[in-house]
Chains A and B, each alone.
Chain A
Amino acid sequence: MALELKNVTKKVGADVHIHPTDLTFEPGSFNILLGTTLAGKTTLMQMMAGLEKPTSGEVWFDGHNVTGTAVQKRNVSMVYQQFINYPNMSVFDNIASPLRVARLPAAEIQARVGEMAELMRISAMLDRRPSELSGGQQQRTAMARALVKDSDLILLDEPLANLDFKLREEMRDELPRLFAERNCVVVYATTEPTEALLLGGQTAAMHEGRVVDLGPTAEIYRNPSGLESAKVFSEPPINLAKASVKSGWVLLDEGVSWKADKGLANGTYTIGIRPHHVSPVRQSSKSVVVEGKVKVAELTGSESIIHFHAHDHPWVSLSHGVHPFETGRFARFYADMSKCFYFDADGHLVDLAAAGKAA
Chain B
Amino acid sequence: MARAKWLIPTIYIIFLMLPIYWLVSMSFKTTNEILGSFTLWPQNFTLENYRTIFTDPTWYTGYINSIIYVTINTVLSVTVALPAAYAFSRYRFLGDKHLFFWLLTNRMAPAAVFALPFFQLYSAIGIFDTHLAVALAHTLFNVPLAVWILEGFMSGVPKQLDETAYVDGYSFPAFFVKIFIPTIAAGVGVAAFFCFMFSWVELLLAKTLTAVAAKPIAATMTKTASSSGYELGLLAAAGTLTIIPGAIVIYFVRNYIAKGFALGRV
Known: A84-B160, A84-B161. A145 touches B168 (CB 8 A): yes
Let me know if B166 and A71 touch, CB within 8 A. yes
Residues of B within 8 A of A84 (CB): 158, 160-161, 164
- 0/1 interface trace, chain A 84-122, chain B, CB 8 Å (1 if under): 101111000000011001100000000000000000000
25 sample A-B contacts, Cβ–Cβ < 8 Å, listed by A number: A49-B167, A51-B163, A51-B166, A51-B167, A70-B166, A72-B166, A76-B167, A78-B163, A78-B164, A80-B158, A80-B163, A80-B164, A82-B158, A84-B160, A84-B161, A88-B182, A88-B183, A97-B168, A98-B169, A101-B169, A101-B170, A101-B174, A102-B169, A145-B164, A145-B168
Known: A84-B158, A86-B179. A77 touches B185 (CB 8 A): no
Residues of A within 8 A of B163 (CB): 46, 49, 51, 71, 78, 80
B55 within 8 A of A: no
Residues of A within 8 A of B183 (CB): 86-88
Nearest CB in chain A to that of B171: its residue: A72
Residues of A within 8 A of B161 (CB): 84, 86
Nearest CB in chain A to that of B170: its residue: A101
Residues of chain B touching chain A, judged by Cβ–Cβ distance below 8 Å, are 158, 160-161, 163-171, 174, 179, 182-183, 185
Bound CA span A46–B167, Å = 10
Nearest CB in chain B to that of A74: its residue: B167
Let me know if B160 and A72 touch, CB within 8 A. no
Bound CA span A82–B185, Å = 21
- 0/1 interface trace, chain A 61-84, chain B, CB 8 Å (1 if under): 000000000111000111010101
Bound CA span A145–B168, Å = 8
Nearest CB in chain B to that of A148: its residue: B168
- Shortest CB-to-CB span from A69 to chain B, Å, is 12
Known: A84-B160, A86-B161, A88-B185. A78 touches B179 (CB 8 A): no
The number of chain A residues with a CB under 8 A from chain B is 22
Known: A87-B183, A88-B182. A82 touches B169 (CB 8 A): no
Nearest CB in chain A to that of B164: its residue: A84
5 A-B pairs with least C-beta separation: A88-B182, A101-B169, A98-B168, A80-B160, A71-B166
Residues of chain A touching chain B, judged by Cβ–Cβ distance below 8 Å, are 46, 49, 51, 70-72, 76-78, 80, 82, 84, 86-89, 97-98, 101-102, 142, 145
Residues of A within 8 A of B166 (CB): 51, 70-72
Bound CA span A122–B112, Å = 60
Residues of B within 8 A of A102 (CB): 169
Chain A interface SS verdict (over half)? mixed
Residues of A within 8 A of B171 (CB): 72
Bound CA span A86–B158, Å = 11
Nearest CB in chain B to that of A102: its residue: B169
Bound CA span A55–B244, Å = 58
Bound CA span A86–B164, Å = 9
Nearest CB in chain A to that of B162: its residue: A51
Nearest CB in chain B to that of A103: its residue: B169
- With A72-B171, A77-B167, A82-B160 known, 12 other A-B pairs at CB within 8 A are A46-B163, A76-B167, A78-B164, A78-B167, A82-B158, A84-B161, A86-B161, A88-B179, A88-B183, A97-B170, A98-B169, A145-B164
Nearest CB in chain B to that of A78: its residue: B167
Let me know if A71 and B167 touch, CB within 8 A. yes
Q: Which of B158, B160, B165, B167 has the most CB of A within 10 A?
A: B167
Nearest CB in chain B to that of A73: its residue: B169
Known: A86-B179, A88-B182, A88-B185. A72 touches B164 (CB 8 A): no
Residues of B within 8 A of A76 (CB): 167
Bound CA span A87–B185, Å = 11
Residues of A within 8 A of B174 (CB): 101
Let me know if A72 and B170 touch, CB within 8 A. yes
Bound CA span A80–B168, Å = 13
- Shortest CB-to-CB span from A326 to chain B, Å, is 45
Bound CA span A70–B167, Å = 9
Nearest CB in chain A to that of B182: its residue: A88
Residues of B within 8 A of A98 (CB): 168-169
Let me know if B182 and A101 touch, CB within 8 A. no
Bound CA span A267–B167, Å = 53
Q: Which of B164, B165, B179, B182 has the most CB of A within 10 A?
A: B164
Nearest CB in chain A to that of B181: its residue: A88
Residues of A within 8 A of B168 (CB): 97-98, 101, 145
- Shortest CB-to-CB span from A45 to chain B, Å, is 10
- Shortest CB-to-CB span from B104 to chain A, Å, is 28
Residues of A within 8 A of B179 (CB): 86, 88-89
Bound CA span A82–B169, Å = 20
Residues of A within 8 A of B165 (CB): 86
Residues of B within 8 A of A87 (CB): 182-183
Bound CA span A229–B118, Å = 67
Nearest CB in chain A to that of B185: its residue: A88
Residues of A within 8 A of B170 (CB): 72, 97, 101
Bound CA span A103–B146, Å = 35
Residues of B within 8 A of A46 (CB): 163
Bound CA span A88–B165, Å = 13
Bound CA span A77–B167, Å = 6
Bound CA span A46–B164, Å = 11
Residues of A within 8 A of B164 (CB): 78, 80, 84, 142, 145
Bound CA span A102–B168, Å = 9
Residues of B within 8 A of A70 (CB): 166
- Shortest CB-to-CB span from B177 to chain A, Å, is 12
Nearest CB in chain A to that of B179: its residue: A86
- Shortest CB-to-CB span from B225 to chain A, Å, is 53
Bound CA span A88–B185, Å = 9
Residues of B within 8 A of A142 (CB): 164
Bound CA span A213–B257, Å = 52
Bound CA span A78–B161, Å = 11
